[in-house]
Amino acid sequence: MFKPLIEVNLRDTFVEYKKNGVRVRKPVPNGLYDSRMGPADAVSTCGTCHKIGTACPGHYGYVALAKYREVDQTTSILQYREVDQTTPIPGPR
């Protein structure tokens, strides 16, 4: 079984700053485009194996996703309706 190299836990993917008046975008560490996952283009260097571009095979990471809660909300509404039949079911927001 593969163990993830890093955990992607930041929503931000790039940091923007100006260098000599030119806007530059740099990947955020522990973000989606972290260089340890592999280079994002043909001229970048991998942060893990230090190979350039397509010479790097890519590396495993882990993305923590939020729990999908619509089923929990629907169950709560239906249980509430069983207790009080006069209350209308709320529609989509």
Return the amino acid letter for 88.
Answer: P
pLDDT tens string 12-23: 555 666 666 666
pLDDT tens string 30-81: 777 788 888 888 888 998 899 998 899 888 877 777 776 676 677 777 776 6
Cβ proximity of 31 and 20 under 8 Å: no
- Please state whether the predicted TM-score (pTM) of the whole model is above 0.75: no
**pLDDT reported for residue 50:** 92
Cα 81 to Cα 11: distance, rounded to the nearest angstrom: 37
pLDDT tens string 68-87: 667 667 777 777 666 556 65
